[in-house]
């Protein structure tokens, strides 16, 4: 995945200045305000804040409200060390992969020490991504499809299939499907044939958590079962069952 690091790429920048956020953490001790606006301005962007050491692709420690027409937002945080990233997805989702055409900033480190903070963040448009969602991928003649169902066999709406090229499935997924509809069906286009490993889940980012729906494609084995896709073939019937994580 290629990051866009040019601060002047599209003249989009955040200037963080004071207020209240969409999801503020509860905490003891001194609190500080971090607020700002996008100088473009860029409407609908969100600042995701993580404590240092947290998984930047998992749930954030705090999330600002989406920026309004004037590009402004604010967030209140307890004293501590943080990293933050600004994102705006074209499809309007608040979670999931950031793909080409979305806005994404570089990682910003800062410290809250009980006083107000003014930070500058730039969120240029992402120009490329190795992982592709179905609607961003060119409709190739290679891919796989199936149905995601729950423990009772009912179709699951709003889940995604994550495609990996290693059996450990510990790295970030190589490809991610669009969310399933009411029928639970998914379709993933692939650039070429190969051996892949699949997981289905209703949340994106980080390891599955209590209450999440999660399941791997397997054929009754402990390890995930490999799916072999031939070039110029849409492999049908690759069904995955998900259950709640407890």
pLDDT at 39: 57
Closest Cα partner for 54 from 122, 125, 107?
A: 107
Distance CA 146, CA 149 (A): 10
Indicate whether 239 pLDDT > 90: yes
Which of residues 180 and 19 earns the better pLDDT score?
A: 180
Fold identical between 14-121 and 143-244? yes
Average pLDDT in the chain: 77
Which tokens sit at 220?
């009754």
- 14-121 folds as Immunoglobulin-like (2.60.40)
The answer to whether 114 and 77 are in contact (CB under 8 A) is no
Query: In the prediction, which pLDDT does 40 show?
Result: 60
pLDDT in tens, 207-223: 788 889 999 998 877 78
The pLDDT assigned to 23 comes to 55
d(CA 43, CA 80): 28
> Residue 130: beta bridge partners?
none
Class of the CATH domain delimited by 143-244: mainly beta
- CB-based contact 62:21 (threshold 8 Å): yes
Which residues touch 221 (CB under 8 Å, ≥6 apart)? none
In the structure encoding, which two tokens stand for residue 152, read together? 């009772």
pLDDT digits (tens, 9 = 90+) for 183-193: 999 988 888 89
Per cent of the chain over pLDDT 70 is 77
Bridge partners of residue 51, in order along the sequence: 82
Cα–Cα distance, 66 to 167 (Å, whole number): 37
pLDDT digits (tens, 9 = 90+) for 139-178: 567 889 999 999 999 999 999 999 998 888 877 788 888 8
Q: What is the pLDDT of residue 14?
A: 36
- The domain ranges of the chain are 14-121, 143-244
Residue 12 pLDDT grade (very low, low, confident, very high; cuts 50, 70, 90): very low
Structure tokens given for 74: 């604010």
Q: Give the pairing of strands 234-235 and 72-78.
A: unpaired
Q: Tell me whether residue 65 is exposed, middle or buried, using C-beta atoms within 10 angstroms of its C-beta: 0 to 12, 13 to 18, 19 or more.
A: middle
Cα distance between residue 215 and residue 212, in whole Å: 10
- pLDDT: which is higher, 4 or 23: 23
Neighbours of 229 (CB within 10 A): 20
pLDDT of residue 145: 92
Q: Among 10-19, 56-65, 121-130, 180-189, which range has the highest average pLDDT?
A: 180-189
Poorest-confidence range of 56-60, 190-194, 230-234? Answer: 56-60
**Among candidate residues 153, 164, 142, 158, the one with its CA nearest the CA of residue 217:** 164
Residues 191-211 have a mean pLDDT of 87
């Amino acid at each position: 995945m290629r990051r866009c690091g040019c601060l002047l790429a599209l003249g989009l920048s955040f200037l963080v200045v004071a207020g209240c956020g969409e999801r503020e953490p509860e905490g003891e001790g001194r609190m500080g305000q971090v607020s700002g606006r996008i100088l473009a301005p860029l409407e609908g962007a969100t600042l995701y804040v993580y404590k240092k050491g947290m998984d930047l692709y998992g749930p954030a420690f705090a999330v600002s409200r989406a920026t309004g027409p004037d590009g402004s937002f604010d967030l209140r945080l307890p004293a501590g060390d943080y990293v933050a990233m600004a994102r705006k997805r074209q499809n309007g989702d608040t979670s999931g992969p950031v793909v080409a055409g979305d806005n994404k900033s570089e990682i910003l480190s800062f410290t809250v020490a009980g006083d107000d903070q003014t930070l500058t963040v730039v969120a240029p448009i992402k120009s490329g991504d190795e992982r592709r969602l179905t609607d961003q991928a060119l409709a190739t003649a290679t891919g796989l499809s199936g149905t995601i169902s729950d423990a009772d066999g009912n179709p699951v709406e709003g889940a995604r299939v994550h495609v990996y090229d290693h059996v450990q499935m510990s790295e970030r997924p190589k490809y991610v499907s669009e969310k399933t509809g009411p029928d639970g069906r998914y379709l993933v286009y692939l650039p070429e044939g190969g051996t892949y490993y699949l997981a289905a889940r209703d949340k994106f980012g980080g390891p599955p958590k209590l209450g999440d729906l999660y399941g791997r494609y397997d054929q009754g084995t402990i390890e995930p079962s490999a799916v072999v896709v031939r070039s110029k073939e849409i492999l049908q019937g690759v069904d995955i069952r998900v259950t709640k994580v407890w």
